[in-house]
Structure 1
Amino acid sequence: MLKLIPVMRKLANEREKTIDDERRGDMAEMPKEIADLKAEIATMRASHDAEIGIMRHRANNATMCIDALLMLLKAAPDKVADHIETIAAMRERHRQEEAVEKGTAAGAKIIAAGNGQPAAATS
């Protein structure tokens, strides 16, 4: 039994050394992993900011159309058909602008995914 004590100590020391080496290796990789996660968070934040900007713009456009319709109806209620055409044209123009904004945001996401840089917010 006493003959095993030096062997057991040697095994314990080797096990601790192996564990320490693994920890050092893991810790050496952490700064890169943290930087990668920060870049990913920045990309996601920019993407979400762009999406929120598009939603806010869309809500503002809808409010503007409703306000314009109400104003036109108050000014000349007898020309409702003309007002409907005007507002419909305005809404179509807004839809086209929204499509361009969404395309820009999607393009920024693709570019950011390709080079690891955060996407620029668009609104």
Structure 2
Amino acid sequence: MSSVESNYKFATTHEWVKDNGDGTVTVGISEHAQGLLGDVVFVELPEEGDVTVATENFSLVESVKAASDVYAPVSGVIIAVNEALDDSPEIVNDSPFEDGWIAKIKLENPQELESLMNFDSYVASLDS
């Protein structure tokens, strides 16, 4: 598992959130999640303007092994999607914390970030 910056938070459902410091966050799936999925072959992106609700499905990642829902770790409005994943979904495998992001969300409730785990807590949760 790679080390990540301190401004990454994690949901129990294996999504990561990077606080951009301007009321927005970037969201993707963890290195652990992409490893379990195997080779990603398709990412169903949300639409810009879609409203996310924390813990509800907002995307889908398909691999050679399975399809897996991606759950919104926070509530807000989708302000950008990673269109590079349309042509190259394998970016999720190659760079889950950088280039493999799925969406950027304008936060509705910044306090929701407090309910997410830091990296060390997330890693500890994988062992339990």
Higher gyration radius (CA)? 1
Q: Which has the higher contact order (CA 8 A, sep 6+)?
A: 1
Greater share of residues in strand = 2
Q: Do these two structures clear the TM 0.5 threshold for a shared fold by scoring above it?
A: no
Alignment TM class, shorter chain as reference: under 0.3
With normalisation by structure 2, the TM-score equals 0.20
Greater share of residues in helix = 1
